[in-house]
Amino acid sequence: MEENKPLRKRDKIIRGFSKLLKEEKLKAVAEYIENPGEFIALLKSFWYQDFEKQKQFDEFSENTISNYHVPYGVSPNVVINGKSYVVPMVIEESSVVAAASAAAKFWGDRGGFHAEIVDVKKVGQVHFCWKGEKQTLINLLPEIKNEFIKNTDSITEKMKKRGGGILDIELIDFTDKIPDYYQFLVTFNTCDSMGANFINSILESFGHTLQDFFSKQDNLDEESRIVEIVMCILSNYTPECRVKVWVECPTSELNGIDERLDGKAFAEKFKKAVDIAIIDPYRAATHNKGIYNGIDAVVIATGNDFRATEAAGHSYAARNGHYASLSYVEIKDDIFRFTLDVPLALGTVGGLTSLHPLAKKSLELLGNPSAKELMMIAATMGLANNYAAVKSLTTKGIQQGHMKMHLANIMNQLGATEEEKIKAEQYFKDKTVSYSEAERFISKIRS
């Protein structure tokens, strides 16, 4: 019946959408689709039968009408600082988990990955405008800071007990760039939580305190008793919440990776590829994307915020005024060392880490790590994927491996049987894979 209804015109607005029930939302949205019945059935087929379980997912976000599945893979035998992990990786891109696993195996035989936390400081800012004398602000600073701390005691109490809290409050004068504009740059330790809510609550409290404080300064002129709070928000640029991971071995242990090059020559070519990503932003973006293939997969699997970690990494990659690689290679005394130096603000308690049943299990699979340990694990997978990508690029190219997966995906799309898939794999061994070629091959063998 619904199938005969005309499609909803795209210039019409659905009013009051957020107030509709889930079923009603689904129906309203289906009006944009040629076959609404099929659309509704498909989206519903991805609902959990268990009402409570589905409700939990629906409530993570808004206007939810279904669930979107992404593969959950694992990379076993990842040795970091002598400890072995099975690392969960949630990613839709083929080859990433295989590449990480192969790199983990290779480096596992060469001492594993080494990792160290540089620091775990997170930052937030109160951006405000004030028209008074700068020196007055400086003179009042100790008093203002005291008020800040006093008024946030109830928020920081628990975090202080865990060893965290507010570490520093710095006034920064930007009045030469924007008239009357200052900021408080606040540094935090949020222990094992990502801490976004904690930080933002404190910053908003600081904002109120600042306005309140100046409104009571009767000795100041009227204008100086007014503070404009522009915004209070954490910064995703966390250069001091950082981790370093590296692998190293004598170049002779790289013999055999490329049949045309010995280990030393391979190491030098590999370094050249990484150096290119250090000087050239076009290459750096792709190089770093390969790093985030590994990092994001772990970040998502553990219920962390991958947009935040990417924002941190890409801004850190541009810290010297031009966008560059997050990893680098050193070859000294015939020792090859490949290092990734990356900011990562992750949490292992609170938020989705405990709400999402799979995020919770991912953390259990990793042995319920601290936030610091998780930073090391996620960065390791970034380095593993970076190593695998640059190794492939500098030896046989990446298409060989990718095309195998690509062919498998096409075969699935064409509804190929297992027997047909094997035949296709044989046939395309030395040929270029494309959808149309695969389609032609399938119809040929079927006829």
CA distance 321 to 325: 13
Catalytic residue (choose from 192, 305, 341, 373): 305
Q: Is 305 a catalytic site residue?
A: yes
Closest distance between ligand MEV and the C-beta of residue 199, in Å? 32
Residue closer to ligand MEV, measured from CB, 134 or 272: 272
Closest distance between ligand MEV and the C-beta of residue 295, in Å? 12
Residue closer to ligand MEV, measured from CB, 156 or 339: 339
Closest residue to ligand MEV: CB criterion? 290
Closest distance between ligand MEV and the C-beta of residue 112, in Å? 22
Catalytic residue (choose from 105, 289, 360, 423): 289
In 335-396, DSSP assigns E strands to 335-343
> Is there a contact between 344 and 369 (Cβ–Cβ < 8 Å)?
no
> Is there a contact between 353 and 196 (Cβ–Cβ < 8 Å)?
no
Give me Rg for the CA atoms of the chain.
Answer: 27
Residue closer to ligand MEV, measured from CB, 375 or 390: 390
Chain residues in the site for ligand MEV (CB under 6 A): 93, 286-287, 289-290, 293, 389-390, 393, 398
Closest distance between ligand MEV and the C-beta of residue 253, in Å? 22
CA dihedral over 372, 374, 379, 380, signed as positive or negative: positive
Residue closer to ligand MEV, measured from CB, 31 or 93: 93
Q: Is 402 a catalytic site residue?
A: yes
Closest distance between ligand MEV and the C-beta of residue 288, in Å? 8
Sort 279 into a burial class: Cβ within 10 Å, 0-12 / 13-18 / 19+.
exposed
Sort 444 into a burial class: Cβ within 10 Å, 0-12 / 13-18 / 19+.
exposed
Residue closer to ligand MEV, measured from CB, 96 or 232: 96
Q: What is the DSSP string of 226-238?
A: -EEEEEEEEES--
Catalytic residue (choose from 31, 58, 93, 253): 93
Residue closer to ligand MEV, measured from CB, 88 or 290: 290
Catalytic residue (choose from 269, 361, 402, 404): 402
Q: Is 93 a catalytic site residue?
A: yes
CA distance 74 to 91: 10
> Is there a contact between 108 and 77 (Cβ–Cβ < 8 Å)?
yes
Residue 408 corresponds to which tokens in the numbers above? 């498998």
Closest distance between ligand MEV and the C-beta of residue 296, in Å? 11
Closest CA to 66 of 82, 83, 46, 49: 46
Catalytic residues: 93, 289, 305, 402
